[in-house]
Amino acid sequence: MMRSIIVGFGFLAVAIAALPLQAQILEGQSQGGGRGAAIRTGGAYYDFGSETGLNFDVSIWGFVNNPGRYRIPSNMNLLDLFSYAGGFREGAFLDRIKIIRRPLDDDNQTMVKKVFEVNLEQYLELSDTEKSMAELKLYPNDIILVQGETPKPTIDWILRLLQTLVAISSLMTATIVVVNALK
């Protein structure tokens, strides 16, 4: 009887410990194939391109939830790209987003790199959305850099850590009780 209780308790402990792994597996399966799916090859590449229209690639780095290389339709703007990238991470500086653009010079011979800053907070407050959206247009091979600062641990982080420690100590206490009951 006691042996079956220990075996059952051990099985329960293993099942509980495997839950985070199972969640990761299911999350990976939900990203399956198809348009917009992430293709994992060392980096992140997302294909949101139109099947019938003109597409090009841009990169987004820094404080966004899904940084990587994106294939997007030619009519997409910077705000659309941030939506596809899952929005901003906590601590992102929306007032100093850098765009690195490498267009050809007037002779179409050499690449000329331009770096400029966009104050996205300012664009979000503008009432003239047609003008602001035109200025947020993306071009092939643009690199968007979202700078930010990693937030310091908050009370939420500390509470999550304590919750994990309490769960582990409860599991250890239950194990000790069962072992002592068998003696």
Q: Phi, psi at residue 159, to the nearest 5°? A: -65, -40
Q: Do the beta carbons of residue 76 and residue 55 sit within 8 Å? A: no
Q: Does residue 57 have a pLDDT over 60?
A: yes
How many Å apart are CA 142 and CA 98, to the nearest integer? 10
CB atoms within 10 A of CB 142: 21
What are the residue ranges of helices labelled H in the chain?
2-30, 78-84, 120-125, 129-135, 155-182
Instruction: Check whether 166 has a pLDDT greater than 50.
Output: yes
Domain ranges of the chain: 1-30, 33-148
pTM of the model: 0.56
Strands 114-118 and 143-148: unpaired
Instruction: Give me Rg for the CA atoms of the chain.
Output: 25
Which pLDDT does position 113 carry in this prediction?
Answer: 73
Q: Of the CATH numbers 3.40.47.10, 1.20.1090.10, 3.10.560.10, 3.40.50.261, which one belongs to the domain with range 33-148?
A: 3.10.560.10
64-119 confidence digits (pLDDT tens) = 999 999 999 988 889 889 998 999 998 999 999 999 987 665 665 556 678 888 88
Beta-carbon-side half-sphere exposure of residue 124 (alpha carbons within 13 Å)? 9
* Residues 123-138, mean pLDDT to the nearest whole number: 69
Distance CA 110, CA 102 (A): 10
